[in-house]
Structure 1
Amino acid sequence: MRTYLAHVELINPITTAAGCAATGKELSQFFDLNRIGALVTKSITMAPRAGRPTPRMAETPSGMLNAIGLQGPGIDAFLERDLPWLAQRSVRTVVSIAGGTVNEYGALARRLTDAPGVTGVEVNLACPNIEDRGRVFARDPSASAEVISSVRALMRYDVPVIAKLSPDVADVVAVARACVDGGADALSMINTPLGMSIDTETLRPSLAAVTGGLSGPAVRPLAVRCVWQVHAALPGVPIVGVGGVLTGRDAFELILAGACAVGVGTALFHDPYSCLRILRELEELLQARGFQRLADAVGLAHRPPGSAARHRADLAPGPGAPDFTVPPDPLNMEESSL
């Protein structure tokens, strides 16, 4: 079940999704955080933020809408209180960062580069660029690349920089390619697409901010589509698949599309043990299908028909059977890296 984000080894592919496990303390009441591949923190900003006015969460028939507004205490409190708590417990921690300008992202990277306990940095590009009339960074390939380049230049070489991409774009592959060209070591997709609901009792929008990010099972097909397209275009780039994962089968679908790791988000709100359950279900499913390694399943749906036959539970490979394992990528020789 081992996998890699660039050169960093994870014991298994299951991570939390940014914003759904805060900075880990709440979730640690239910299980040892070292049992999952990595904890992804909520997005950290330079200054403290109170977030948006309430109501800022609303249930939908297939998930939920949220307009939290990146509420948090800021980077100083995170470095003083939260990151040391995680580091003392040796939790593999991917720190999500968010900013309103390229310089702000760079400043966050500079604060994190020498901080102990940082396994990776996830760059939340779904933030308004206040220098470009509030246009979201993730919708502009050049703006996304500029942010990633700034972060990559200031982070230690041994800390992977992961670009978090949005599905609300005309061409997700173009944004992904720009991020990789800008220095991203891996990609995470998808961030929440924009949605809205109206309360038919009050006759008003359900959220004070009117619109919010949609998460839950409804967005999984969007995530699968984005992972599929980006893996097809950039097969050597590690991808974290995120969006609507409730079961091991959901995680398996994203892995077959090209993800080497899978983020669990909304499921944690109703089942705080969901990461462990999904990990167990995924492992059982891989074993039942005859996979020897997780890496052999990554992107397998892109292979020609029949390539996956050897992994069916009812078909054991015989003598001289062809080897359909994914060949090593010349750009990244870690065997499990995709």
Structure 2
Amino acid sequence: MITLQKELVHVGGVTLDNHLILAAGVLGTTGASLFRMLRQGAGGVVTKSIGPNPKEGHAGPCLVPLERGLLNAMGLPNPSKNFLQELEPLAGKPVVVSIFGGKPDEFRTVASWFEGVAAGYELNLSCPHAEGYGAAIGSDPAMVRACTEEVAAFGMPTWVKLTPNVTDIGTIGRAAEEGGATALVAINTVRAMRIAIDLRRPVLGNRFGGLSGAMIFPIALRCVYDLYEACSIPIIGCGGVSSAADVIEMMMAGASAVQIGSAVYDDSSVFGSIADVLYSTDGVSASGIVGCAHE
């Protein structure tokens, strides 16, 4: 298998220790858990999504393990501005804050709390199970551009996380790019559900949720491929990545780095495990393979 040179990675204005990033919503709820992921080999981390007001999230069950995947409907629980204190011990680390809101000015407000504190922002315009947030507004190109513009105005790295639950993800990606995004993150979870036959009702308290894990990797790969064709800013692949081979495949589709989420559920040391296989002294430069599947 192709291996990479181990080097500092510059993606969308953020400098990472390697190509592997902790995805939002997974062990990103405290400063201690974020630091733990960095210590265990993540090149950068993204926090839990933070919104304009404290939110408890949906009633349980909120997380259901499936074969080769997870189904969740957390509902964006977060402490809002109080999360700022969790980041204080992480000053200078590659920590990107995931933020959400229901309209552009709410994105601006939340972003203002972390100005100069975080390494950058990641706009959650893609959560499929929070009414009025995420994908509810992230499927509208005009709204995506407006929200991105408000955050990009701070002059900090601005990543935009996209939903796969749209007809043409390239159109949404271009809207984010036009709004000043410095990178695109593809993808968030796929809208899905399961039903408990014996109970005759959906397994999640919210009835439907987002599907993640290895089973959505081909969907995420295709979205990265499409965005590479449609946009000119860097892409960060996310969705079902669980091995070094997955990382290489994502890069060949067009990703400059990857995020890992559900794989952490099974193995919190997954970053180190993947890095041991991904990097070698005779590895190739990532620039030589990013997007090569388009040639």
Give the TM-score taking structure 1 as reference length. 0.80
Instruction: Please list the CA deviations of residues 97-138 of structure 1 after superposition, one character each: whole Å capped at 9, or x if unmatched.
Output: 011121111111222224x3x11100000256849xx97121
Q: In the alignment, is residue 296 of structure 1 matched against residue 293 of structure 2?
A: no
Please say if residues 105 and 150 of structure 1, whose CA atoms lie closer than 8 Å, have aligned partners that are also in contact: yes
Q: Is the 8 A contact 1:16 1:263 kept in 2?
A: yes
Q: Secondary structure at the match of 1:25?
A: helix
Distance in 1 (alpha carbons) for counterparts of 2:279 and 2:213: 22
Sequence identity (%): 36
What do residues 13-48 of structure 1 show as CA deviations (whole Å, max 9, x unaligned)?
100000012245235457616x42211101011211
Q: State whether residues 14 and 94 of structure 2, in contact with CA within 8 Å, keep that contact through their aligned partners in structure 1.
A: no
Aligned to 1:164: 161
Contact 2:31 2:87 in 1 (8 A): no
Q: Secondary structure at the match of 1:301?
A: helix
Alpha carbons of structure 1 residues 222 and 30: separation in structure 2 relative to 1, 3 Å: closer
Q: Matches of 1:194 and 1:135 in 2, distance apart?
A: 10
Find 2:180's aligned residue among 178, 183, 197: 183
TM-score normalised by length of structure 2: 0.91
Matches within 5 A, 1:310-321: none
Query: Residue 18 of structure 2: which of 12, 15, 19 is its match?
Result: 12
Note if contact 1:3-1:294 (Cα within 8 Å) is conserved in structure 2.
Answer: no
1:249 corresponding residue in structure 2: 245
Tell me the residue number matched to 1:202: 199
- 1:274 is aligned to 270
In the TM superposition, residue 203 of structure 1 has moved relative to its aligned partner by 2.0
Quick one: distance in 2 between partners of 1:143 and 1:31? 33
Q: 2:22–2:37: 8 Å Cα contact kept in structure 1?
A: no
> Which residue number in structure 1 is paired with residue 86 of structure 2?
82
SS in 2 for 1:50: coil
> Residues of 2 paired with 1:278 and 1:135: CA distance?
30
In the TM superposition, what whole-angstrom CA distance separates every residue of 1:278-298 from its partner, at most 9, and x where no partner exists? Answer: 2222225xx6xx643122111
The counterpart of 1:192, out of the listed 184, 189, 192, is 189
Q: How far apart, CA to CA, are the structure 2 residues paired with 1:282 and 1:195?
A: 32
Given the alignment of the two structures, is residue 26 of structure 1 paired with residue 33 of structure 2, yes or no?
yes
CA–CA distance in 1 between the matches of 2:178 and 2:213?
31
The superposition leaves residues 307-337 of structure 1 with CA deviations (integer Å, 9 ceiling, x where unpaired) of: xxxxxxxxxxxxxxxxxxxxxxxxxxxxxxx
Unaligned runs of 5+ in 1: 304-338
Q: Distance in 2 between matches of 1:293 and 1:245?
A: 20
Relative to structure 1, the CA distance from residue 5 to residue 31 in structure 2 (aligned partners, 3 Å threshold; closer, same or farther) is closer
Distance 1:249 1:174, change over 3 A: same
Offset of 1:192 from its aligned partner?
A: 0.5
2:98 pairs with 1:96 = yes
Correspondence list, 1:63-142, <5 A: 63-75=69-81, 77-79=82-84, 81-87=85-91, 90-114=92-116, 116=117, 118-126=118-126, 130=132, 136-142=136-142
- Counterpart secondary structure, 1:65: strand
- Please provide the CA RMSD for this pair: 2.0
**What corresponds to 1:310 in structure 2?**
none
Amino acid at match of 2:142: S
Is 2:66 aligned against 1:57?
A: no
Partner of 1:283: 279
Code of the residue aligned with 1:82 in structure 2: it is E
C-alpha distance after superposition, 1:222-269 (max 9, x if no partner): 1100000111222x3111100001111111110110001100000111
User: Which structure has the greater CA radius of gyration?
Assistant: 1
Q: What letter corresponds to residue 264 of structure 1 in structure 2? A: I
Distance 1:24 1:216, change over 3 A: farther
| 8 Å contact from structure 2 (residues 12, 158) kept in 1 | no
5+ residue gaps, structure 2, are 1-5
Residue 8 of structure 1: CA displacement?
Answer: 3.1
Alpha-carbon displacement from aligned partner over 1:125-171 (angstroms, at most 9, x marks no partner): 0256849xx97121111111111011112x2x2x2100100000011
The aligned residue for residue 54 of structure 2 is 48
Bigger relative CO (Cα 8 Å, ≥ 6 apart): 2
Moved more, 172-181 or 41-50: 41-50
Distance 1:176 1:265 in 2: 22
